[in-house]
Amino acid sequence: MAHSIWPLFDLVVRTPRLELRPPTDHDCVALAQLAAEGVHDPQVMPFDVPWTDVPPPELERRALRWWWRKRAEWSPDEWAFTGAVFVGGEAGGVQDLTAHHFAILRTVGTGSWLGRRHQGRGIGREMRAAILHLAFEGLGARQATSAAFLVENLERCLPMFGVVPAQGQSSS
């Protein structure tokens, strides 16, 4: 069904194993519950903002407010596509694509998380490749940045996407 009032609900990116799309409220609840189950080793904080250190049910409530706020604040000049990632029809994580002044800068940012039970199967790489395909081929982006850090074997992963660290940055 086409969503004439909010056409972003019609945006879907598919790969052989995954589907990325804006989450419905029902999807947001499933993603919040998945996040509460864990997305990383509790001894390591892979995010700039330690959002996963909040105990349930506050973690889920904050996650819902975050997604609702991003949806409500969407504008052509500043946007955040929060792509709910589905693996075999099940909520698996989130792949974000963000932009500020996209029409002028043609630059996007990416960030993501994947539920622990979905990790270790290449799903993270596949969802990142899918969102970058949308950015470059679908939207005409010229540059992408990533919020990723503290990633094991980053040097091994970067060439898979043709990524070169910015001057003065390293993965360690």
* Model pLDDT for residues 130-152, shown as the tens digit of each residue: 999 999 999 999 999 987 654 44
CA distance readout (Å), 40 to 47, 66, 107: 10, 19, 28
Nearest Cα to Cα of residue 106 among 144, 133, 79, 132: 144
Q: Whole-prediction pTM value?
A: 0.84
Q: Does 171 score more than 80 pLDDT?
A: no
Query: Which segments of the chain does DSSP mark as H helices, in order?
Result: 25-37, 58-72, 102-105, 123-133, 154-157
More confident residue, 13 or 172: 13
Ordered by where they begin, the domains of the chain are: 17-160 (3.40.630.30)
> What pLDDT is attached to residue 172?
41
More confident residue, 160 or 117: 117
Q: Would the pLDDT of 167 be above 90?
A: no
Higher pLDDT, 169 or 4: 4
Distance CA 124, CA 114 (A): 7
List pLDDT tens digits, range 25-78: 999 999 999 999 999 998 988 888 889 999 999 999 999 999 999 999 999 999
- Residue 157 pLDDT: 54
For a pLDDT cut of 90, what percent of the chain falls above it?
A: 76
| Confidence at residue 170, expressed as pLDDT on a 0 to 100 scale | 47
d(CA 16, CA 14): 7
Tell me which of 45 and 97 has the higher pLDDT: 97
